Structures are given as structure tokens and as C-alpha cells.
Amino acid sequence: MTARRLGLYAASTVIAAWVLLPLALIALAALTPREELYRWPRPLWPDRFTAEGMLFFVHQARVLRALWNSVLVAGLTIALALGLAAPAAYALVRYRFRGREALQLGILATKMFPATVLSVPLAVVLIRLNLYDTLFGVALVHTSLSIPFVTLIVASVFAGVPYELEEAALTLGCSRLQAFLRITLPIALPGLAAAATFTFILSWNEVFAATILTLDNRTLPALLIHSVLSEGAPLYFRYAGGLFLVLPAVVILLLIRRYLLTLWGVTVR
């Protein structure tokens, strides 16, 4: 094994361990029985494991439904955000037009306002649109929160795809749209996957809007975060609940990780 290889492995192991350690601690704590959590000195490895805390969450019917709601909202948000942001990103990158820079800044500016202050006006908008307490309403709001960054990420990716390729397709008789779909889009796929990952995470963890915009059809954070992660909850609940909130995201990241890396590099001759 070359020194370079060794260096690579060493560096990546150290970094991966640093990332994993706190997560491992939480997983351990979530599976530790209550009495042991309060013992001091705290044993790293508990005498026995218990799934009691985790099972509490799994058995609540509302929780599984909320889990599904979160997935639904996140999926809708990704579709809507990409659908709205991709054309805008394409326009911002491929065309020079008046107001381009102002528009860029303007779109970003909508993200610079803390969402907590906007929660009541947003709720009023949704109530008036008759979308209060619907998952669609939450998805709409999440989409508006995602569009700025999705536009930015997708734009930077489109910028990385050389225009010559599209030009070549145009000269071969494709329309602008076809050139985009057949040439640019496949190359930009990792970037779109990154944007989609981003949107998913944003929607999954979003709690302010989701809380105030729903009564019954709650997403998982809206349902759990205040009752489980707030300081009022007993320690064993916080750990179990924390792990429970993270696990679905862990699973979903596992499923989409393939799209973050393409199997081919871009070559230009």
C-alpha cells in the first residue's frame, strides 16, 4: 500500500470517526434503561439494552402517520421546488438579461428573514387559501423556503456544464428544450441530487411552519420536537426521541446517496 493510500485511509477514518462518535453515543443512550442514565459515573456501555424508549414511539399510531406525512411533504416539496427553481436557474445562468443580478439577490433575500417572525402571516395566508391543516399547505410553504437555495445550487451546476455542448446539440437539430433534457440535465444530475437532498433535509427538519400550519395532519417534527426534545421531557425520552427522529433521515440518505456521485466524469475534447 502506497504512502498516499495510507494517508487517504488515515484521514478518512479520522474524519468519519469524528462524525460518527456523537451519533453512536446517542444511539447507545437511546437504548440504555432509564435508571442507568442517571447513574454516575455514567457507564459508556450499559449493563443491559432496552428498546423500551424506541418502542414507545413506534407504537404510537400518530407517530407512524406523522412519519409518512413528513415523507409526503418532503417529496412534494422536492418536486415543486425543483420544478420551479430549475427553469429559473437555467435562465439566470444561460441568459444575460436586465435585472439578472437584482433577481439573484432578490431570490436569495427571501431566505434571509428568520422564519419565526413570518409564521403568523404565513398561517393567515394559508387559512385564507383554505389550505390550513393540510399537508399540501405545508409543502407549499416548505417549497417557498427551499426555492432560493435550490435555485442557487442548480444554477451553479448548470454553470459548470459548458454551453458548447448544448450548442452542438442545437446545430444537430434539437430544440432548446431537447438540448436541455438530453445534454445538460444528465450531466447536472449530481447537482440536482444535491439540491434534492438539501430540500429533503430542509423540509424534514422544518418545525416552525409545520407546527403552526397543522392541527391534525402533523409532520414528525411538528408532532414530536416540542414534546420530546424540549427540556421538559425526561432524559430517556429525549435520547430515544432524538434517535427516532434521525433514523428515517439516515435511511433515506442511504437510498439516495447513489445519486450524489455519478459514475462517469465529464470529458471535453
Partner 1 sequence: MRNRTEHAPEPKATQVVWTPYILVLPAFAYLALFILYPMAQAIRLSLTDPQTGGWTAAHFLRLTQDPYFWPAVRYTLLITAIAIPLQLALALAIALLVHTRFPGHGVFLYLCALPLGLSDLAAGLIWLSIFTERGYLNAALQALGLIRSPVSFLSYEHPHWLLGAIVLTEVWRATAIVMVILVAGLQLIPRDYVETAQVFGARPWQTLWHVLLPLLRPSLQTALIVRTILAFQLFATVVVLAGRLIPVLAGEAYFWYALYRSPNVASAYAVLILLLSGAVTWVYLRTLRTPVEAQA
Partner 2 sequence: MRRIQLAVVITILMAAWSVGLGRTAPAPEIVFTSNQFTPVEEQEWARNTLLARFTQETGIAVRFITEPEGPYVDRLLAEVRAGRGTIDVTGTLHGIFPVLVAQGVVRDMTEVQRQLDARRDRTFYRDLLAASRMEGIQAFIPWMQATYLVAARREALRYFPQGRNPMRMTYDDLLQWGQNIREATGERRLGFPVGPRGLYGRFLHGYAYPSFTGSQVKRFRSAEAVRMWQYLRRLWGVTHPASFRYEFMHEPLLLGEVWVAWDHTARLLPALRERPQDFVVLPSPAGPKGRSFLTVIVGLALTRLAPNPDLGTRLIEYLTRPSTQVLTLQGVGFFPVSPEAARVVPTGGLKVMADGVAAQAGAPDARTALLPIGLGARTGEFVPIYVDAFRLIAIEGRPIQEVLDAQARKLEALYRTTNAPCPPPDPPERPCRPD
Query: Binder to partner 2 among 16, 127, 253, 266 (CB under 8 A)?
Result: 127
Check residue 70 for interaction with partner 1 (CB under 8 A).
no
d(CA 21, CA 232): 26
Check residue 227 for interaction with partner 1 (CB under 8 A).
no
The contact pattern for partner 2, residues 54-73, with x = CB under 8 A and - = no contact, is ------x-----------xx
Partner whose binding site includes residue 55, from partner 1, partner 2, none (CB under 5 to 8 Å by kind)? none
Query: Binder to partner 1 among 31, 152, 183, 213 (CB under 8 A)?
Result: 152
Binding segment for partner 1 (CB under 8 A), chosen from 46-54, 60-68, 188-196, 211-219, is: 188-196
> Taking the complex as a whole, how short is the minimal distance between the CB of residue 52 and partner 2, in angstroms?
13
For partner 2, which is the closer residue by CB, 87 or 106? 87
Question: Is there a contact between 220 and 10 (Cβ–Cβ < 8 Å)?
Answer: no
**Which residues ranging from 215 to 254 are in contact with partner 2 (CB under 8 A)?**
215-217, 224, 226-228, 230-235, 237, 241
For partner 1, which is the closer residue by CB, 61 or 97? 97
For partner 1, which is the closer residue by CB, 61 or 251? 251
Check residue 258 for interaction with partner 2 (CB under 8 A).
no
For partner 2, which is the closer residue by CB, 100 or 226? 226
Backbone torsions φ then ψ of 175, nearest 5 degrees: -80, 170
For partner 1, which is the closer residue by CB, 93 or 135? 93
Sequence-ordered list of residues with C-beta below 8 angstroms from that of 11, at least 6 positions apart, any chain: none
Query: Binder to partner 1 among 134, 163, 174, 185 (CB under 8 A)?
Result: 163
**Count of chain residues binding partner 1 (CB under 8 A):** 106
Check residue 136 for interaction with partner 2 (CB under 8 A).
yes
> Taking the complex as a whole, how short is the minimal distance between the CB of residue 185 and partner 1, in angstroms?
13
Reduced 3-state DSSP string for the chain: CCHHHHHHHHHHHHHHHHHHHHHHHHHHHHCCCHHHHCCCCCCCCCCCCCCHHHHHHHHCHHHHHHHHHHHHHHHHHHHHHHHHHHHHHHHHHHCCCCCHHHHHHHHHHCCCCCHHHHHHHHHHHHHHCCCCCCHHHHHHHHHHHHHHHHHHHHHHHHHHCCHHHHHHHHHCCCCHHHHHHHHHHHHHHHHHHHHHHHHHHHHHHCCHHHHHHCCCCCCHHHHHHHHHHCCCCCHHHHHHHHHHHHHHHHHHHHHHHHHHCCCCCCCCC
CA angle, residues 178, 181, 187, in degrees to nearest 5: 135
Query: Binder to partner 1 among 55, 58, 64, 109 (CB under 8 A)?
Result: 109
| Binding residues for partner 2 (CB under 8 A) | 34, 38, 40, 60, 72-73, 75-76, 79-80, 83, 116, 119-120, 123-124, 127-128, 131-136, 139, 181, 208, 211-212, 215-217, 224, 226-228, 230-235, 237, 241
